[in-house]
A and B are shown apart, each in its own frame.
Chain A
């Protein structure tokens, strides 16, 4: 019996509260060399990073916006503030975090989660981390978990320089270039060889400022034979102007190492979420993604895994919930570039009230990847006549002995199932919510409990008033 079924409904206010920006530092809106120079100098970048930002800006300026996927016409970079620093430094003591920011995260349950079940927490508010803490025993194992800015000036600066935007170069796409120019905040994690981090590390990203962008960079290196679970959560209050999130996640999974990366994203519905995530997995390494996408106005999110070493593996479990006014374009990319590599993709998507949910999968198996195995299974549920769900698979197989499976199903909530549950006393709304929750169960069971609870709350919330 799972506890998660019985939690109370949450109020949308849980996410929608917001605070005034008092004495905050903001760059002016728009993007040009002066803005990038200002960010770089505010952040006290080393010279190479300063140069990297300017190069990225040049790339950004000459690259076209993608000509596929959802429209991002509502996003005007001239109106986006790329850097907003709350009026505080980063603190390792919760009591030192300014009250309004503390309240924000307390409402979102962050310090409580940390006390209960996390090895370390980073909390980013607008463009900067405001709180960062790692448990002593984890630190003593040699695990590094810090903000990227500190890492740039500390003993790991060479490691950062060797890995930063090497998996996702600024030339990857226009918003990767934008990220390279204005990135701020995010985390650096290094798990030394052989170290198993028993309980997860977590980063929470909160974008409070109106009309702003959040461009955090997460860089994780799990060294040989090590093991890590990293969780990220994202939320923002709703504004009537566009906000932008163009984060970047680069994950290096070394030989026989294991990384699980879980995300629950609940950006507000004025957010353009153009996020890039990529993992490189060495021999015998294992990469597991768990992803829940609920928020944002438009999302383009296609986590990619490159299986570079023999017997490397990737598993992706994801869910997307697109409601009114949402166009969520998500997917998974995997490249098999070594023999005996395996990948497994299982996703669920739900669309309702005119929401659009598109799932793209791309499986590439190179000539080197003898006996590779890949399976893709995606199921979609449309809750009404006006919603839309698309599945766009792509497979490029260059070896003769690969084992490939693909399955896609699109369906609706069965009237008979609703009737059945109502005959057991459930209201129509509760019956539908139960069916949808069940549909998502394969994803929620992969999430840490408090996130599974949050996800089921989000589903119940989304299902409110969905009868019509």
Chain B
């Protein structure tokens, strides 16, 4: 790829006055699948949230370019409207708001257009069938009483419905049983099947990567990218862990 979709340069981010990211450089092109790995506490989720614009993280240095536009100071919702999506590790409950309500309201906010109910419902049901979700799911309250697997499926349903240009998946596959991982993986694969959508996958496991063509792996330790490689790097880390990056 000769153009860049996401270009992070020298990104530093603080939480509660403590620097967590110490200058990150990372580039993702259209249609590329990147994997971000790292031990617990390395700053992987912080990077995801800093990219999405979480108000609790303060960007203290560097820049984020998305589609050629500097979004470093942009609001969360503007980044979403630019085409950025974050699948949350632990998505919150929104009592009284149904999954269908959330997705339709989001789709309208993202496109600035009204979406007809019949069209919306048809598409929603297609995606739900694909993810093997019961249709009454659409009328459940967002994440209320959902199991871990159900929460992740609901995130992937949003991903498929909202069609961002870059999705960050924050441990979308962790804590799931085999069937759920398979469903989630199929959803992620479907998302990038047109070869234009990009992914940044934060993960510890190989299963979600099995059906995907990984273009690049980044290793984050203590808030810094310490290694980069191809799909083989991800595979070897999954096998051997991060001991090779431990300080002597």
Contact = CB atoms under 8 A, between A and B. Distances in A.
Interface stretch (B11-19, B85-93, B224-232): B85-93
A158 B56 CA distance: 69
Closest 6 A/B residue pairs (Cβ): A438-B96, A441-B96, A425-B109, A424-B106, A438-B97, A422-B76
B101 interface: yes
A437 B96 contact: yes
Contacts of B110: 424-425
Interface stretch (A31-39, A186-194, A202-210, A413-421): A413-421
Given A415-B55, A423-B52, A1 B97 contact: no
A438 B98 CA distance: 9
B160 interface: no
B109 A424 contact: yes
Contacts of A422: 75-77, 80
B71 to A, nearest CB: 13
B82 to A, nearest CB: 10
A43 B78 CA distance: 63
A420 B92 contact: yes
Given A5-B101, A425-B162, 17 more contacts: A1-B120, A6-B114, A414-B92, A416-B92, A417-B92, A420-B91, A421-B102, A423-B88, A424-B80, A424-B102, A424-B109, A426-B77, A426-B106, A430-B105, A434-B101, A434-B105, A439-B96
A442 interface: yes
A175 B94 CA distance: 41
Interface in B126-181: 138, 141, 158, 162
Nearest to B49: A419
A176 to B, nearest CB: 36
B213 interface: no
A440 interface: yes
A434 B103 CA distance: 12
The DSSP consensus for interface residues of chain A is helix
Interface residues of B, number: 38
A13 B52 CA distance: 39
Contacts of A427: 77, 109
| Size bracket of the A interface | 20 to 34
A297 to B, nearest CB: 28
A104 B141 CA distance: 38
B36 interface: no
Interface string A378-422: 000000000000000000000000000000000000111101111
Contacts of A2: 98, 101
A96 interface: no
B248 interface: no
B97 A435 contact: yes
B54 interface: yes
Contact of B95 (A1, A415, A423, A438): A438
A5, A416, A424, A426: residue with the most chain B Cβ atoms closer than 10 Å? A424
A79 B203 CA distance: 71
A414 B96 CA distance: 14
A5 B121 CA distance: 15
Contacts of B22: none
Contacts of B141: 438
A423 B121 contact: no
B34 interface: no
B105 A426 contact: yes
Contacts of B85: 423
Contacts of A16: none
Nearest to A348: B96
Nearest to A438: B96
Nearest to B85: A423
Given A1-B117, A428-B77, A430-B109, A435 B94 contact: yes
A186 B242 CA distance: 77
B7 interface: no
B182 interface: no
A419 B56 CA distance: 10
Given A422-B80, A425-B80, A425-B110, A5 B96 contact: no
Nearest to A2: B101
A421 B54 CA distance: 12
A437 B92 contact: no
Nearest to B109: A425
Nearest to B55: A419
